[in-house]
Amino acid sequence: MDWVYEMVFAALIGGLVGSRIDYLIQNWDQVSGDLLGNIFSGSGLVFFGGLAGGAIGVIIWAVRKGALSWTLADAAAVPITVGYAVGRVGCQLSGDGDYGTETDLPWGMAYPEGTVPTTDEVHPTPVYETVTMGLAALVLWRLRDRFAPGVLFGLYLVIVGVERFLIELIRRNDSVAAGLTLPQLVSIAVAALGAAIIVARRSALRPAAAR
């Protein structure tokens, strides 16, 4: 089982580095004055940067081990989804600015003690994402043996892309092109990649899918 710990470590390091780089790029105007200090500060992580960095870390590890395969990608789908759900719990508890726009709904929440505080009642989008991705993890787990290698990972990419695109509709990020935020543009690319993987792998559908 040593390979499991090695893979998780590669994903963790790659994810942290990628997430941090993405944050610095998206907030360059705020961090460029003290770039070194902001690189090593304790706040500022972005999911899609972490996803890309973690994937790169695992790919590098897998290539070195000669273990790169669609089966490995599928094996990572459920843990990544669970990790996303758990990570949003941390965002909710810290009030780090990942919450949404103002709302009059009865479950709207304020984050007066958050790292990015607000006294307004806003959408608790980290809660929405925790619930959504938790359910997604259950679905992916139930489907884990029903498809050809690669399809499950493609499905994960579609789910996370669509989920993030929709949640951005009630987030506070500024639009950058065509009325869409940067995370929405990335979400479209991620979902499209997932759909392409599913289409490319569909011909190898396992007989178990017919059960």
**Per-residue model confidence as pLDDT tens digits over 19-67:** 777 777 766 666 666 655 555 555 556 666 777 788 888 888 888 888 8
Residue 61 lies in a domain: yes
pLDDT band at 174 (very low <50, low <70, confident <90, very high): confident
Report percent pLDDT > 90 for the chain: 39
- Asked if residues 122 and 103 have their Cβ atoms less than 8 Å apart, the reply is yes
Q: Does residue 25 fall inside a structural domain?
A: yes
Whether residue 109 is contained in a domain is answered as: no
Sorting pLDDT into bands at 50, 70 and 90, what band is 91?
A: confident
Q: How confident is the model at residue 131 (pLDDT cuts 50, 70, 90)?
A: very high
pLDDT tens sequence across 53-64: 888 888 888 888
Is 137 part of a structural domain of the chain?
A: no
| Average pLDDT of the chain, as a whole number | 84
pLDDT band for position 123 (cuts 50, 70, 90): very high
Task: Please check the confidence at residue 68 and state whether its pLDDT lies above 50.
Answer: yes
Decide: 161 and 188 in contact? Cβ < 8 Å: yes
Please give the average per-residue pLDDT across 142-163, as a whole number. 93
Through-space distance between the first and last CA atoms of the chain, rounded to whole angstroms: 31
Domain membership of residue 15 (yes or no) is yes
Answer for the pair 47, 5: CB distance below 8 angstroms, yes or no: no
Q: How many domains is the chain partitioned into structurally?
A: 1
pTM to 2 decimal places: 0.80
pLDDT attached to residue 208: 47
Residue among 109, 114, 68 nearest 90 (CA):
114
**What pLDDT sits at residue 36?**
56
Q: Which residue has the higher pLDDT, 158 or 92?
A: 158
Q: Is residue 180 part of a domain?
A: no
Task: Identify whether 43 is part of a domain.
Answer: yes
Percent of the chain's residues with pLDDT above 70: 83
Which domain, by its residues, includes 55?
1-68
pLDDT at 7 > cutoff 80:
no
In a domain, 194, yes or no: no
Helix, strand, coil fractions of the chain, as percent rounded to 5: 70, 10, 25
CA distance 164 to 84: 11
* CA–CA separation, 32 and 27 (whole Å): 8
Q: From 45, 51, 2, 1, select the one nearest 27 (Cα to Cα).
A: 45
Q: What's the sign of the alpha-carbon dihedral 9, 97, 38, 183?
A: positive
Token pair for 85: 């759900």
Average pLDDT for residues 153-181, to the nearest whole number?
Answer: 92
What's the CA gap between 123 and 105, in Å, rounded? 8
